[in-house]
Structure 1
Amino acid sequence: MLKINIDRDWEYLEENLAFLEHVILRDDWKKVDIPHDIAIEKPRRKDNPSGPDEGFTAGSNIFYKRNLPIDEELLEKNLILEFEGIMGYSEIYINGILLKKHFYGYSSFLVDITNYVHEGENTLLVYVNNTHKPSSRWYAGTGIYRHVWLRVGGEVFIKPWELHVESDILDEKKAFLNIKVGVKNSSGRKVKAKLQFRIFSKEDELIKESEEKFEIDGKEEKVILKGLEIDNYIPWDIEDPYLYRLEAKILMDDKESDIDSTYFGIRKIEVVPNVGFKLNGRVIKLKGGCIHHDNGILGSASYDRAEERKVEILKQNGFNAVRTAHNPFSPSFLDACDRLGMLVMEEFFDVWTAGKRAYDYHLFFEKYWEEDVENTIKRDFNHPSIIMWSIGNEITWGSGVNWEKEKGYTNIFEWSEKLSKKVKELDPTRFVTSAFCGLPFEAVKVEDVEEDNTVILGVWKGNEETKSRWGEITEKYFKYLDVAGYNYKVDRYEDDGKEYPNRIICGTETFPYTLYDNWKETLKNPNVIGDFVWTAMDYLGEAGIGRASLDENEAKNFLGGFPWLISNCGDIDICGDKKPQSYYRDIVWSLRKVPYIAVLPPELYGKKIYLRLWGWEPVERNYNFKGWEGKPLRVYVYSDADEVELFLNGKSMGRKIAGDKVKFKTFYDINYEPGRLEVIGYKDGLEVGRDILETTGEPIKLKLIPDRNRISSCYGDLSYIKIVAVDEKGREVKNARNKIRVEVEGVGKLVALGSSDPLSQESFVTNEISLYQGRALAILKIMGIPGELKLKAWGENLKEEEIVIKCE
């Protein structure tokens, strides 16, 4: 079926569900385009029942309305609406008739409106209820936050999400394609037709065509299979993500009845005991990161460019795999993974029958899980980037089961089997996993571990009894899975590798603070196929899980109190910038050979800093500490060299051991002296690199850095512009907190302005913001007109700067 985007020209109204006629006739509807997340627009309050899980954001009841014009030609077609994602309990109405209810905010769904529209103006109404709080363990947003499409097909049409391609590599030159097409006849009469298949290269050259004749009874649905051989194929790989395009056309009496197309890749994936994960015959370790679905200061609004930029950033920082925690992501995100070469573990659920929050999906799971799994796999089947389906996350931590008795686990074992079998029935080509955490009914010893001036809270300590029970329970849980997902169980890799030599393990979540040990154990164990850090990118909600605190009592709270907004545990902040732990990862993963300097501010020197293992020492890439001259501070050096030597204004602070012996972290205690810090790394006595950090002057102007100087003029494209405070020498001033203002002129508009300040109470939908660590981010939306887009920015004691983006 053809896909027509209908994101534009909607209206919305915040209102409780009431008489529809009354709602529709209201005169206070506001114009809006999709994607839309109303939660990011509303003020955060301490007493919002969403709490720190959702960043103290507000829920909402909201109606969306759109006129759907249907002409005579469309009236003769089959018409299906596709909603990629609506956050909240949703109801879909056409001309006042309720056609669909949907309860999972992360799964796409279809609504057949063929028999409910008439020629002329039709009213599409969507009601979204997301006032039930708490309903999520992270920021979810509210509204129609992903694309909406109108699918149009002829009398005999290809069903949405049912043009599937499975590739089988025969040898180095030949591959075989198994094509499966779901077709439907709505004509009421028996029809003879043919399916025409055409395959195009990445360069859009026709390389193969064929056809298949078929008969289909009136009102019948059937599946048509076709096999095609491809010579001299180019495999899809993370280094060269080569994509083909398949076009399928239904012809009746040589006239087109319907057409659909899909991209696909030819690749081979394997998991082999004592070998690991293989892509196209090559063993690779998954350098993975977990991420949530939000797009930072945009909230949950899923713009194509926002999704693509996430993948670009992950790829640039060494990640080759991502876990969609803990739910299906948008098609645009998966498309970007296909294009850019990012492997994907796509997860279905955070909960099954037992909930983790009062109003989460466990209320609807037993009734709708199968529909959501089917919709997700059918929708995403052709993405070569997807290598694993995850059926659940930490299901054992749900409430409502008697964990004291083994029979309490029967439910979990049965559901693991049921979901796994369903997934393999729908897709036998990929691996199935589930992220398993601890055994909540065991008496696990928890300790606070002090490392110099840092206190790591809540470190789990196992014992022989839990080790035995772990084996007994996980054998049953993983029985029907291909890959055993271990959350925070790096300490079990070695023993389980010996005890269960055929068990393929993946570190589905690991702590950032133990990165060095995580990766060493992953490399050491061939059955461990990869490591997925929690998290690769900061996200909204689960506020303060990675915070550092000087207050022991406050630190023992799992999440931060108001006004905490951001998780603060990611390698990359919500504006897309690297944090110190990301540079440390570069060194652990052998991506950076130059040392890296980070500084613990002098006001923290000698004090006990409390953090959980999702946190990181509160170090900064900053050497501006006016008023602290002569006071002690700590300088951290991340390096894989044998030794490092720190210089303060040209004076050596001595050489120290670096590299593996100190897990790539060396520190110096010095007295603050404004000027220049320089570190040199040595291997075998020879210099291998150096890093410099300087005290800067006061900020005097802003520097504007766009992600792209020329962009598409297509409606909905985004321009990301970093706003950076600099001194008279053009050096970035990392401690600048100036208030800034922006204005936009031309063929676009400002859709978000914000910073990565985890405690900010400023709105992201105004044109004023305070800099955080010297930076802010502006996001501009293109309105579908070629021309120029101009951003002006200025602030307190900061000269005005402007930048022009070409939209072509």
Structure 2
Amino acid sequence: MNGEGEMPGVLEAFHKQHPNKPILGTEITHTLQTRGVYATKTAYRTRDFPAPWEEGVTWASFQNKIFPIPDLTEKELFESRSKFYQSSYDNAIVRIGVRDQHKRTEALPYFIGTFRWTGFDYLGEATIQPARTANFGILDLCGFPKDHYYLYQSLWSNKPMIHILPHWTHTGKNGVIIPVVVYTNAEAAELFLNGRSLGKKVMGSDKQLVWLVPYQPGKLEAIATTNNKTVATTLMNTADKPAAIELLTDKKQVSANYKDVIHVEVNITDTQGTLVPEADNLVQFSIEGPGKIIGVENGDITDFSPMKASQRKAFNGKCLVMIQATNQPGKIRLKAVSDQLVPKEMEIISAPVKGQAYLHKK
């Protein structure tokens, strides 16, 4: 089954006609998220941001083909920055959300599983123009996780985990009730704001835990428990103004083979090292030594800046720079600078390849 398998009753009707055939979902489910963007009102593509091929399809004729998701608040809490961005709560869908689809897979023994659309954001098939793509992935164009990444962990992984959303930097919203969602594979979780317990909740059939929290800057912490024992914790702090650049790399050493590539995650932080979740500073990169910059990205589907460049604006606090090793050993030094931010440098070793001859320059 492709996308039509997301519609209510379709799998059940097929199974009734073909009781001995298992069913596999080949594009199920279609959900959309923009990393770091949140909306408390549910969005349905056909109603709220229709694709070109949905022209002429009315919401009245389509709404019986979806699994509706309740709004988190009566009125929208967060102002949308762009019609191209979709909410990172599990509430921006084509026909069905991740949690409802998972429950469906669990409930139907003849439904053996699905390939969701998609794992990664990809260039092309932008449903609204001008944009580079639609936000179908659970990883953005940089490979940075969106919140659905952690929802899937809570559904599939045996390793204890817990995740909070949204971020906890909401300037001007003191006292405003914000839905805080926790994903965990533990039996229960307790939420704390600035050290004060907001209550413990037991995971149920909804596959998420929700607290309605009056916003107050500070520390938001969640503790997951199984058999009343702590198995995982997570916390987030309210960020101050952008102050510095943080560089995180997936490799400390590469081979001088013209093939190895280093992915460097670039974070905009405050003075305490907390990610500033809406920072959009322009970061410039330079390289010394046997390496070269082969690409930059930030995950913003509306940003058409060249990917073959030595600079990139952060999107929701992050961007990416990719460095390729040359065929010479030595130390690769990356420097990242941005106006009014403390610059950052890092060093990666490019190691000789055994049996390969090198021309050493004086």
Normalised to the residue count of structure 1, the TM-score between the two structures is 0.33
Residues of 2 paired with 1:802 and 1:688: CA distance?
36
1:734 is paired with a residue whose SS is coil
Q: Is the 8 A contact 1:490 1:518 kept in 2?
A: no
Deviation track 1:555-587 (CA, whole Å, cap 9, x = no partner) reads xxxx2232x223212111111111111101111
Q: Percent identity?
A: 29
Residues of 2 paired with 1:568 and 1:596: CA distance?
21
Q: 2:256 aligns with which of 713, 727, 749?
A: 713
Residues of 2 paired with 1:590 and 1:643: CA distance?
16
AA in 2 matched with 1:669: L
In structure 2, what is the equivalent of residue 766 of structure 1?
Answer: 309
Residue pairs, 1:179-578, within 5 angstroms: 436-438=2-4, 487-488=5-6, 491-511=9-29, 512=31, 514-543=97-126, 559-562=127-130, 564-578=131-145
1:516 is paired with a residue whose SS is helix
1:502 is paired with a residue whose SS is coil
Residues of 1 paired with 2:3 and 2:242: CA distance?
47
In structure 2, what is the equivalent of residue 593 of structure 1?
Answer: 160
2:223 is paired with a residue whose SS is strand
Q: 2:287 aligns with which of 723, 737, 744?
A: 744
AA in 2 matched with 1:649: N
Deviation at 1:723, TM superposition (A): 1.2
Residues of 2 paired with 1:792 and 1:624: CA distance?
28
CA gap 1:569/1:586 in 2 versus in 1, 3 angstroms = same
Residue pairs, 1:644-663, within 5 angstroms: 644-656=189-201, 658-661=202-205, 663=206
1:533 is paired with a residue whose SS is coil
Deviation at 1:682, TM superposition (A): 4.2
Q: Is the 8 A contact 1:742 1:791 kept in 2?
A: yes
Deviation at 1:686, TM superposition (A): 4.8
Residues of 1 paired with 2:240 and 2:312: CA distance?
22
Deviation at 1:676, TM superposition (A): 0.9
Residue pairs, 1:625-704, within 5 angstroms: 625-656=170-201, 658-661=202-205, 663-683=206-226, 685-704=228-247
AA in 2 matched with 1:569: F
Root-mean-square deviation (Å): 2.4
Q: Is the 8 A contact 2:3 2:28 kept in 1?
A: no
- Structure 2 unaligned spans of 5+: 32-95, 352-362
Deviation at 1:687, TM superposition (A): 4.2
Q: Is the 8 A contact 2:141 2:297 kept in 1?
A: no
CA gap 1:683/1:495 in 2 versus in 1, 3 angstroms = farther
Deviation track 1:499-531 (CA, whole Å, cap 9, x = no partner) reads 323313211111245223333333444543321
Residues of 1 paired with 2:329 and 2:228: CA distance?
57
Deviation track 1:701-751 (CA, whole Å, cap 9, x = no partner) reads 212112111112112432211111223333333232211111112222212
AA in 1 matched with 2:24: C
1:509 is paired with a residue whose SS is coil
Question: Does residue 151 of structure 2 align to residue 584 of structure 1?
Answer: yes
Deviation at 1:595, TM superposition (A): 2.8
Residues of 2 paired with 1:704 and 1:688: CA distance?
29
2:149 is paired with a residue whose SS is helix
AA in 1 matched with 2:117: W
CA gap 1:806/1:689 in 2 versus in 1, 3 angstroms = closer
CA gap 1:490/1:510 in 2 versus in 1, 3 angstroms = farther
AA in 2 matched with 1:504: P
Q: Is the 8 A contact 1:497 1:525 kept in 2?
A: no
2:27 is paired with a residue whose SS is strand
Q: Is the 8 A contact 1:519 1:531 kept in 2?
A: no
Deviation at 1:683, TM superposition (A): 4.3
CA gap 1:768/1:696 in 2 versus in 1, 3 angstroms = same
Question: Does residue 311 of structure 2 align to residue 786 of structure 1?
Answer: no
Q: Is the 8 A contact 1:710 1:806 kept in 2?
A: yes
Deviation track 1:464-492 (CA, whole Å, cap 9, x = no partner) reads xxxxxxxxxxxxxxxxxxxxxxx535744
Residues of 1 paired with 2:99 and 2:141: CA distance?
24
In structure 2, what is the equivalent of residue 757 of structure 1?
Answer: 300
AA in 1 matched with 2:14: D
Residues of 1 paired with 2:163 and 2:2: CA distance?
35
In structure 1, what is the equivalent of residue 350 of structure 2?
Answer: 807
Q: Is the 8 A contact 1:522 1:528 kept in 2?
A: yes
Deviation at 1:532, TM superposition (A): 0.7
1:586 is paired with a residue whose SS is helix
Deviation at 1:798, TM superposition (A): 1.4
Normalised to the residue count of structure 2, the TM-score between the two structures is 0.71
Deviation at 1:638, TM superposition (A): 1.8
